[in-house]
Amino acid sequence: MFLPENIDLAQSEKYTLSIRLIPDGFSFCIYSTADRSVFHYQEKRFSKTLSQIGNIEKIFFEVNFFSHPFQKVEVTVVSPRYTTVPDAYFEKKRAGELFTFNIHGEHGKVLNNLVSETGYHILFDLDEELYSFLCRNLWNPAFYSHQARLHPFLSNYRNEGNRKRCFVDFHDEMVSVTCFYGTRLLSSNTYPARERYEALFNIANVWEHQSLDQNTDLLVLSGNLRENSESADTLRRLIRNVEELKPDTPNGYLSLPTDILLALNSVES
């Protein structure tokens, strides 16, 4: 993995390292909060012959700079395995119990992010072995659900008038659907979107359950719209008020995941 010339890892403490984990891949970006021109993003798909932890161990052993003492290290977990809990009902010692109440099956290390803008905790899990490996090999990493990167911005975006807002982000063969009324979180879910009509079915289901109005409420689309153009065009025909979210993208990059862009823009603002 090659880095651009303007990133000097002998001075890694000047940069932020942001790692993004998806079920079948890994990406990272290195950037400077003081100099917008310093930015590098790279993706790597996992080998099908290795487990997730096996793939990540291989990447870390091949590339020797992930353990450098960066100014900040962030790990974003992209997964449908998360749930939201109002701050008033959250107890850290009961995080595992709260998580398994809504997310069935065995769970890994249960982590949580408080989104102060909405007053909710987002609980999510990460494989215990992988969590331990990352904690040992990264410089004081902070862990985030991908939705925790979106909610602070979305909770206030177009927050005017007496209408609900539905945010649909296409990413990583998934679709994340988040609804707000004012700054109040109504629902937040991530669904698979591999089949042709899978995303549309789940989006329509959310609109029905949240009693959203096709004529007055707002739909905001973001993410990988190029590969999901059929779904996006169908939604534009069905819903009157549709916008596209277009966060600033670093020079030299046509598109990046929405959670990365919003995290970058929040740093710069």
pLDDT of residue 39: 95
pLDDT of residue 36: 86
pLDDT digit string (tens) for 53-87? 999 999 999 988 999 999 999 999 999 999 999 99
pLDDT of residue 131: 98
- How far is residue 116's CA from residue 85's CA, in Å, rounded to a whole number? 12
pLDDT digit string (tens) for 106-149? 999 999 999 999 999 999 999 999 999 999 999 999 999 999 99
Could you tell me which CATH number the domain at 158-244 has?
3.30.420.260
Q: Is the pLDDT of residue 269 over 60?
A: no
pLDDT digit string (tens) for 223-243? 999 999 999 999 999 999 999
Q: Is the pLDDT of residue 2 over 80?
A: no
DSSP-derived pairing of the beta strands 218-223 and 241-244: parallel
Q: Which residues contact 219 (CB under 8 A, 6 or more apart)?
A: 165, 166, 168, 235, 239, 241, 242, 243
pLDDT digit string (tens) for 172-201? 999 999 999 999 999 999 999 999 999 999
Beta-strand (E) ranges in the chain?
Answer: 16-22, 25-31, 39-45, 72-77, 82-86, 109-115, 120-126, 142-145, 164-171, 174-181, 184-192, 218-223, 241-244
pLDDT digit string (tens) for 201-224? 999 999 999 999 999 999 999 999
- How far is residue 60's CA from residue 26's CA, in Å, rounded to a whole number? 11
pLDDT of residue 58: 95
Of the chain, the percentage scoring pLDDT greater than 70 comes to 99
Residue 43 amino acid letter: E
pLDDT of residue 217: 98
- How far is residue 204's CA from residue 240's CA, in Å, rounded to a whole number? 14
Structure tokens at 180: 């707000």
Could you tell me which CATH number the domain at 1-155+247-269 has?
3.30.420.250
Higher-scoring residue by pLDDT: 263, 166: 166
Q: Is the pLDDT of residue 1 over 70?
A: no
CB half-sphere exposure, 248, CA atoms < 13 A: 11
Q: For the chain, what are the domain ranges?
A: 1-155+247-269, 158-244
Higher-scoring residue by pLDDT: 1, 159: 159
Q: Is the pLDDT of residue 254 over 90?
A: no
- How far is residue 146's CA from residue 66's CA, in Å, rounded to a whole number? 20
pLDDT digit string (tens) for 138-163? 999 999 999 999 999 999 999 998 99
Q: Do the domains 158-244 and 1-155+247-269 match in fold?
A: yes
Q: Is the pLDDT of residue 268 over 70?
A: no
